[in-house]
Amino acid sequence: MTDAIAHRSVARLDTQKPKNGLVSRYWLLATLVFMVAVFAFLRPQLVDSSNIATILRSSALTAIMILGLTWVIAAGKIDVSFMHVAALGNMTTAYLLASGHGWLVAGLAGVSVGAIAGLFNGLLVAVMRLQPLIVTIATGGICASIAAALGKGTSIRIADPGPLGDFIFTNIGPVPVIAIAVAVLYALSWYAQEKLTFGHYIFATAQSEAAVDQAGVSVRNLLMLLFVFSGVMSALTGVLLAASLSSGQPMIGSSYFIDGLTAVLLGGMMLRIGKPNVLGTTTAILILAVLVSGSALLGWADYQRQIIKGILLLIGVTVAMRAVNGRQSQHPEAS
């Protein structure tokens, strides 16, 4: 009886329908369409097949890296080590390849360091109850330092991009195969997020960890799983970037920091207002990719793009915080 009540309590925490209308929930998608139309009108090269392939390929790599981050933030935590974990996975792969190991060993090792970093984050946050921001700043710094040490501060050249290189650069028409694979991955993730109890518990954890525990689900184990998943996906992206760039670069993750957080938080303004979700993340990633490509075609300077990204990040943070404060005022017992 108590378990049934607890399960219903968790369900109520996650399944409350937003009062926002259709336009409010999907305006981010409309923004993407509007941006494509405007940039394509100003610079028709934006919709050339080669440029579309470039946009989709870069978006796919970003999407892999921040899929885990999306769920970590949806659960009410934060992971700012993701880009450094990607760099460590990248440099580990390149180092082993340069040492004579094959892609299988090097790739698995690259992903494994991400799992270890994620497990370490999870233990410190979920078990020791330390602040996730401080923890992941520290672990990110450790990962970045190890990545730099592997290459002695410089990049490591990769002679053969291997089968992953073929995977990344093979297209079906104008669409890269990796983009199709990521679309399938995100479709499965959407199903897990929206249709399975696993997804409900992720969102409910952000509102009331006690309610999730009372429902018989270990919040500790759930958070550890999410941090490990975030680490694995980040490191996997690092491995793929090694094949894509034919090199290991210790600073490769730096450019993904603002983009990753912006995509996740801005994506929270779609579908589940104020809650990061995979559909919103996908849309926000494409918005940022179109912004980068379109502004480059128009000759904008990099600082101009960074200003726009910073504004978008502030908007995402503001909406997320207002949504959290609104839910806490409506359900003070869940905070």
| Amino acid at the residue 293 | S
Distance CA 34, CA 30 (A): 6
Residue 119: is its pLDDT beyond 90?
A: yes
- Higher pLDDT, residue 271 or 119: 119
Dihedral in degrees, nearest 10, Cα atoms 306, 270, 84, 176: -90
pLDDT tens, residue by residue, 297-311: 999 988 888 898 888
The pTM (predicted TM-score) of the whole model is: 0.90
Residue 335: is its pLDDT beyond 50?
A: no
- Higher pLDDT, residue 321 or 327: 321
- State the greatest distance between any 2 C-alpha atoms of the chain, in Å, as a whole number: 64
Res 1: pLDDT: 42
Res 327: pLDDT: 54
Residue 283: is its pLDDT beyond 90?
A: yes
Instruction: Return the CATH number of 21-324, one of 3.40.50, 1.20.58, 1.10.3470, 1.10.10.
Output: 1.10.3470
If you search the block for the tokens 């880009």, which residue do you land on?
83
- Higher pLDDT, residue 276 or 317: 276
Distance CA 255, CA 65 (A): 12
Residue 312: is its pLDDT beyond 50?
A: yes
Q: Are 318 and 62 in contact (CB under 8 A)?
A: no
**pLDDT bracket for residue 273 (50, 70, 90):** low
pLDDT tens, residue by residue, 161-180: 999 999 999 999 889 999 99
Q: Are 127 and 188 in contact (CB under 8 A)?
A: no
Structural domain boundaries of the chain?
A: 21-324
pLDDT tens, residue by residue, 179-190: 999 999 999 999
Distance CA 204, CA 193 (A): 12
From 101, 67, 99, select the one nearest 235 (Cα to Cα). 67
Residue 18: is its pLDDT beyond 80?
A: no
Res 318: pLDDT: 80
Distance CA 266, CA 67 (A): 14
**pLDDT bracket for residue 5 (50, 70, 90):** very low
From 255, 264, 240, select the one nearest 316 (Cα to Cα). 264
Res 324: pLDDT: 60
Q: How much of the chain exceeds pLDDT 70, in percent?
A: 87
Distance CA 101, CA 242 (A): 14
Q: Which residues share a beta bridge with 247?
A: 157
Q: Residue range 223-227: average pLDDT?
A: 98
Res 22: pLDDT: 59
- Higher pLDDT, residue 325 or 294: 294
